[in-house]
Amino acid sequence: MSRETQPKLKLAVVTGSVREGRFGPVVARWFREQALRHNEFEIDTIDLADYGIPLELPSVPPAMQPDMTRPDGMAELTRRLADADAYVIVTPDYNRSFPAALKAAIDWHFTEWQAKPIAFVGYSGASGGLLAIEQLRQVFNELHAHTVREYVSFPRYYLLFGQDGALLEPAEHEASAKTMLDQLLWWGTVLRDGRNALPYGAAR
């Protein structure tokens, strides 16, 4: 089956910050516009603030019980993550790392991430989220996901966006988003085909 006859990849754009006054939804909206313009994905925008995600994990971690029953209120989140073929994580960095709610959402799941590509859009005062992104790469590698090389970064984001949420000088960031989405499309297509041909972890 050629790519032209396949359904579009399902891309989940995940806003990782849940704290009051966060800027994440502005960045996520901007990225959703870039993904829509790219026109190769079916997009699902997930805001972790919409879900009650406990920071305390069960005594037996999700990696060891893939069919586990999760806390009330997480079923929809789990379904949406499982349905996705690829992800973009929108994250700030807090104290040189990424938000606790994002780590909890990651850790409450396991098979949902496996053999799927993940890309990042970061924002923060100085690093543009790169400190969080580099740590997230290590986390997702442990979960058998593939993180694409390219990313989008907004250092001093408060100087880059106008009051209406639009970038004041969009060309460079739009080009970065296009390159990242191109990589995500390639990896997403190859990995989806691979999962369909042989479920990840299955015996040969």
- Per residue in 158-173, pLDDT (tens digit) is 999 999 999 999 999 9
Residue 5 or residue 113, greater confidence: 113
What mean pLDDT is predicted for residues 50-75? 84
pLDDT value at 38 more than 70: yes
Provide CB contacts within 8 A for 17, sequence distance 6+.
23, 24, 48, 49, 90, 91, 92, 99, 101, 102
Share of the chain above pLDDT 70, in %: 96
The residue among 75, 149, 78 whose CA lies nearest residue 107 is 78
pLDDT category, 60, cuts 50, 70, 90? Answer: confident
- Per residue in 63-119, pLDDT (tens digit) is 787 777 788 889 999 999 999 999 999 999 999 999 999 999 999 999 999 999 999
For the domain covering 7-197, report its CATH number.
3.40.50.360
pLDDT at residue 63, as a whole number: 74
* Amino acid occupying residue 83: D
**Can you give the residue ranges of every domain in the chain?**
7-197
